[in-house]
Chains A and B, each alone.
Chain A
Amino acid sequence: MKDQLRRMKALISKEFVQVMRDPSSLLIAFVLPMILLFLFGYGVSLDAKRLKIGVAVEDSGAEAASLASSFLASPYFEARISRDARVLEADLLAGRSRGIVVIANDFSRRLHSAGTAATIQVITDGSETNTANYVQNYAQGVVSTWTTIERMKQGNASQTGARLVPRIWFNPELESRDSLVPGAIAIIMAIIGTLLTALVVSREWERGTMEAMMATPVGIGEVIIGKLIPYFLLGMVAMLGSVAIAVFLFKVPFHGSLPALLLTSVAFLLAALGQGLLISTVAKNQFVAAQVAMVTGFLPAFLLSGFIFEIASMPLPIRVLTHIIPARYLVTNLQTLFLVGDVWPLLLPNVLILLGLAAVLFFITARKTAKRLR
C-alpha cells in the first residue's frame, strides 16, 4: 500500500514535469482556454442585433414614410432606405444586407380603404437561415408596434385584445454570452480531458517508455491513476480558473454554489479522462489517437452538447446519441449553475449519469489494458 502510494506519487510528479516542459500541452491547457473564453466573453454571440436591411419605399404617402422611419429607429435594424428595390436586391445578393422590406406603391391607399390589407413584403436572405428567422421576427415586431401607434394616433384603438407579455427568466436580456461562456468552459474541459490525455498516453507507447515501465513493479492500476490524477488536477485548475475569469472578468452571473460546481466538474472530468484513456489504450499511436479524440471528443462537445445547437431540435437518432456524450451533461449543469443556482433535481441526475459513464469507460479501459505488450 505504502509502495503503491509512493509509486503513484512518483508517476504524478513526473507527469507534471512533462506538462510544464512541453509548450504544446501548456498551450492547449491554458492558452486555448483563454482564447476561447475571451472570444465568447467579449465578442461572439449567437443572437442577431442590428441587422443590416434595406427598406424600399415605393409609396410616397405619409404612412409609408412613417413606417420606414420606424424601421430606421428600430434598435434591431440598421436600415438603408431606397426608392428602388433593385438596388437593395444587389446588396442582398452580395451579402451586404440580410433582408429587404418592400413598402409597395399602393400601401397608403390600401391602408385607408376598408376591407383590404396593406401588405408589406419582407424578403430575407435564406442562405443565412438563422438570421433570416430573426429578420422575420424583428420585422414583425416593428410592424405590430407601428400599427398600434398608428391606431392610437387615430384615437380609435385602445389596447385591446390578446397581448403576449414575455418574461425571460435567468437572463432577461437574452445575453447569449451568459450561456455561451459556461458552454465554452465545457468545451475546454473536453479538450483537456480527452484530447490531451489521449495524446500523452499514446506518446508513451510510441516512445517506448511504457515498455520500460511495464517491467517495473508498478501495477497497471497505478499507471492509470498516475495518468489520471495529473490531468484531473490540470482540468480542475483550468476549470476553476475559467469560472473565475467568467465571473470576475466577464461578469457572467454565478448563482450556484462551489460544492455543486466541484461535484459537477469532478464527475465530468472523470468521464472525459476515462474516454481519453480508453482512446489511447486502443490507439497506441498519436495520429490515430488525435483523430479519434477529435471525432469522439472535441467535435461532439462542440456540436452535440447543446452548447450552440439545441439538442431537442435534432432528429431522434442523434438525440439518442447525445446521451452518451459527457459534455452534454456538463453544459446543462454549468448553464444552470451560472444562471439559475443549485437545482439539485436537475444537477444530481446529470452528475450520476456522468459518474456512470466514467465507471463504464474505466471498466473497459481496465479490461483492455494488461501489463503486457500484446
Chain B
Amino acid sequence: MEHAPVAIQGLSYTFGNNQPPALDNLSAVIRPGAVTGLVGPDGAGKTTLIRLMAGLFLPGGGTLNIFGLDTRTETTRLHRIIGYMPQKFGLYEDLSVMQNLRLYADLQGVTGAARQQVFQRLLSFTGLAPFQNRLAGRLSGGMKQKLGLACALIRKPRLLLLDEPSVGVDPVSRRELWRMVQELVNEEMAVIWSTAYLDEAEQCDEVLLLNEGKLMFAGPPRELTQRVTGRCFQIRNIAGNRRRVLANALQREEVQDGIIQGANVRIVLRVDRSQPDLAALSAGPEARLVPVAPRFEDAFVDILGGGPGGISVLAASMSQIEDYGQITVEAQGLTKRFGDFTAAQDITFAIRRGEIFGLLGPNGAGKSTTFKMMCGLLRPSAGIGKVVGLDLQKAPGQARSRLGYMAQKFSLYGDLSARQNLEFFSGVYGLAGARQKEIVGRMIDIFNLTPHLKVAAKELPLGFKQRLALSCAVMHEPAVLFLDEPTSGVDPLTRREFWTHINGLVERGVTVMVTTHFMDEAEYCDRIGLIYRGQMIATGTPDELKGRTESDRLPDPTLEDAFIELLHQWDDKTREAA
C-alpha cells in the first residue's frame, strides 16, 4: 500500500512536567497532491506539530509517520524527503541569495547539471534572479520568504513544511508565494502551510484546525464553512458611526461575531437566532441587513465559541482626548533619501481627529520609512511631519509625549514582569507618584493582569502580551496612536479583541495611524494611503479604493484585489509616461 505523506496516530507532546500538553492525542492523515492548512489560535500547537513532522522534536506519545518513515528512528531518511521552512526563516543573512541557494543545494545533495537548472528555475520562479548577489539580510520581508521557500524546494521535497510563511509579507508577495506553492503540488507530494490568516486557509485543499493541542476539525475548509451558512450578514448603508454599530451589535446576545468591512459591518448570528433589530444598533434609517456568503473565518470563530464583546473597558476608562483642531497628524512633502536612493518622495497627507488612517504598500516601497518619519525615528531629508500641530523635528519631546506607539511583536521588555513593564512605560512618559500608581492599577484591573503580574512578559500568553503592549502604549492617554503591523501573525480572536479596543479609543477622540499587510485590518481604516515606489499613489476609503478598481474583470474586488490592481495601474501609467 502506498504510504500517506503524514500519518498521525494518537500523537502527544508535552514541554515540561507541569505544563499542559502542547499536543494531545492527535490523529490525522494528510493526503498527497494537496495543500493542507494548519490553523488555530496562538499556542494551539501548530509549530510544535510541524517540528515533530520535521523530526526536530521526538513524539511524546503515539506515532508519526512521514511516507511510512517513523520520525523517531528514521530521521536521516526523513530529512532527505522533506523541505522545511521555519518561522524564523533559516537564512544566513550575511550570505548572498546565490550563496544561500548553493549552501542548501550542497546540503540537499543537488549537484551536477541538474543544479544549474534548479537554480535557474527557482530564481525565475521566485523573481529573485535580479538580486542573486544581494545579501539575504538586505532583502525585503517578502523576498526573504521567497528565498526561504526556494531553499526548502531545492531538492523537490515530497513533504513541504511551511511554518507561517506569510507573516510580514505584503499581499502581492503573498499571492506569489501562494501561487508558487500551488504550482508545486502534484500527486507525489504534500504541502503543509501553517497560518494565522484564514483567507489563506480558505484556499487550502484541506485544513487541520488545532485548539489547545487538540484537533477540532480536519477536512476541506468548505465543510467547516457550511456550519455558518445562513448566519452571515452585512449591515449596509449605515448612517452615522459604523464602529458604534459594531460595538452595539457585538453586545447583543444573538450576535456571535462581527467585524468592520469598509463602510459596512459584518456579523455572524448564533444558531437559530433571529436577526437583530437594526434600530437598536443605531445604524440609521437606511441601514439594511444583507445576507452574505460565509467565510472560513466566520466558521473558525464559530467553532471556537465566538468572538469577544464590543465594549472596550480600556477606552471606557480613558478620558476624552482634548481637541487639537481638525487635523491631528500631518505630513507635508515628506522626503527621505539614503544616498542616491529616494525611499520616500514628497509624501503628503493629513489625518483628522478620531480617524483611523492606514498606510499600505508592498515591502520595501517606502511605507516603513514614512511611518518612521512620522514617529520621529527617522529625520526627513525634506518636508515636515507634525503631530498635534507640533513639528517632530523642532519639538520632538513634546510631540512624542502626545503619541503612543506599538510595534509588531510588541516590543515589551521580555525579562521584566507585566507590572514592571507598566511602571517603566508610564515612567518614561513622565507619570509619577500617586497618578502613576493609579493608572498602572487601572490597567491591571482592566486587562485582568493580576494573575500575571509577576510573570516575565516574554512568558505571557500571546493575548496577554498584546493587551500589555497596548496598555503600555496608551497609559499616558496619547492623542495619536501609531501602530506598526500591530496584529501581524496574531490569530483572529486576539485580533478582534485588539480592534475592539482601538475602535473604542477612536471614539474617545484618539487618532490612529496603522501600517498593515493584512486586508482584514485595512478594512477597519477610515481612509487608506497606498505607498508604492516611494510615493503615495492613492488615498481614499476602503470602499473608494475598491470602487476605483471595479471593472468587468473584477466586478466585486476585494480590498486585496484593489491593492494589487492599483499597483498595476500605476506601473502601466509610469511605463506609458516613460
Q: Among A10, A21, A212, A374, find the residue whose CB has the most chain B CB atoms closer than 10 A.
A: A212
Given the interface pairs A11-B103, A14-B99, A17-B99, the reply to whether A371 lies near B91 with Cβ below 8 Å is no
Q: Is B95 an interface residue (CB 8 A)?
A: yes
A215 touches B102 (CB 8 A): no
Of the four ranges (under 10, 10 to 19, 20 to 34, 35 or more), the interface on chain B belongs to 35 or more
A215 touches B80 (CB 8 A): no
CA–CA, A9 and B94, complex, Å: 18
B104 touches A216 (CB 8 A): yes
Q: Among A21, A209, A213, A215, find the residue whose CB has the most chain B CB atoms closer than 10 A.
A: A215
B94 touches A217 (CB 8 A): no
Q: Which residues from chain B contact A217 at a C-beta distance below 8 Å?
A: 76, 79-80, 107-109
Q: Which residues from chain B contact A163 at a C-beta distance below 8 Å?
A: none
B103 touches A212 (CB 8 A): no
Q: Which residues from chain B contact A10 at a C-beta distance below 8 Å?
A: 102-103, 105-107
Min CB distance B98 to A, Å, is 11
CA–CA, A17 and B92, complex, Å: 10
> Would you give the 0/1 interface string for A131-149, flagging 1 where the beta carbon is closer than 8 Å to chain B?
0000000000000000000
Q: Which residues from chain A contact B82 at a C-beta distance below 8 Å?
A: 215
Q: Is A115 an interface residue (CB 8 A)?
A: no
Given the interface pairs A17-B94, A215-B79, the reply to whether A208 lies near B107 with Cβ below 8 Å is no
Partner of A14 from B85, B103, B108 at Cβ < 8 Å = B103
A209 touches B91 (CB 8 A): yes
CA–CA, A17 and B98, complex, Å: 12
Q: Which residues from chain B contact A212 at a C-beta distance below 8 Å?
A: 84-86, 89-91, 151
A18 touches B95 (CB 8 A): yes
Q: Which residues from chain A contact B105 at a C-beta distance below 8 Å?
A: 10
Min CB distance A366 to B, Å, is 16
Q: Which residues from chain B contact A9 at a C-beta distance below 8 Å?
A: 106
Q: Among A209, A210, A219, find the residue whose CB has the most chain B CB atoms closer than 10 A.
A: A209
A7 touches B86 (CB 8 A): no
Specify the chain A residue showing the minimal Cβ separation from B108.
Answer: A216
A6 touches B106 (CB 8 A): yes
Q: Is B51 an interface residue (CB 8 A)?
A: yes
Q: Which residues from chain B contact A210 at a C-beta distance below 8 Å?
A: 90
Q: Is B554 an interface residue (CB 8 A)?
A: no
CA–CA, A22 and B89, complex, Å: 20
Min CB distance A369 to B, Å, is 13
> Would you give the 0/1 interface string for A1-36, flagging 1 where the beta carbon is closer than 8 Å to chain B?
001001101110010011001100000000000000
Partner of A372 from B15, B56, B83 at Cβ < 8 Å = B56
CA–CA, A7 and B83, complex, Å: 16
The residues in B between 15 and 49 inclusive whose CB is less than 8 angstroms from any CB of A are 15
Q: Is A218 an interface residue (CB 8 A)?
A: yes
Q: Is B75 an interface residue (CB 8 A)?
A: yes
CA–CA, A271 and B144, complex, Å: 38
Min CB distance A42 to B, Å, is 35
Specify the chain A residue showing the minimal Cβ separation from B80.
Answer: A217
Q: Which residues from chain A contact B151 at a C-beta distance below 8 Å?
A: 212
Given the interface pairs A6-B111, A215-B56, the reply to whether A208 lies near B90 with Cβ below 8 Å is yes
Q: Is B97 an interface residue (CB 8 A)?
A: no
B58 touches A372 (CB 8 A): yes
B94 touches A215 (CB 8 A): no
Q: Which residues from chain B contact A175 at a C-beta distance below 8 Å?
A: none
B93 touches A207 (CB 8 A): yes
Q: Is B55 an interface residue (CB 8 A)?
A: yes
Specify the chain A residue showing the minimal Cβ separation from B85.
Answer: A212
Q: Is B57 an interface residue (CB 8 A)?
A: yes
Q: Is B54 an interface residue (CB 8 A)?
A: yes
The residues in B between 89 and 137 inclusive whose CB is less than 8 angstroms from any CB of A are 89-95, 99, 102-109, 111, 135
Partner of A218 from B15, B87, B107 at Cβ < 8 Å = B107
Q: Is A114 an interface residue (CB 8 A)?
A: no
Q: Which residues from chain A contact B553 at a C-beta distance below 8 Å?
A: none
Min CB distance A2 to B, Å, is 9
CA–CA, A240 and B510, complex, Å: 66
Q: Which residues from chain A contact B57 at a C-beta distance below 8 Å?
A: 372-374
Where the two chains meet, the residues of A that have a C-beta atom closer than 8 Å to any C-beta of B are 3, 6-7, 9-11, 14, 17-18, 21-22, 207-219, 371-374
New A-B contacts (8) at CB < 8 Å, excluding given A215-B56, A215-B84, A372-B58: A11-B103, A21-B95, A208-B86, A208-B87, A208-B88, A212-B84, A217-B80, A217-B109
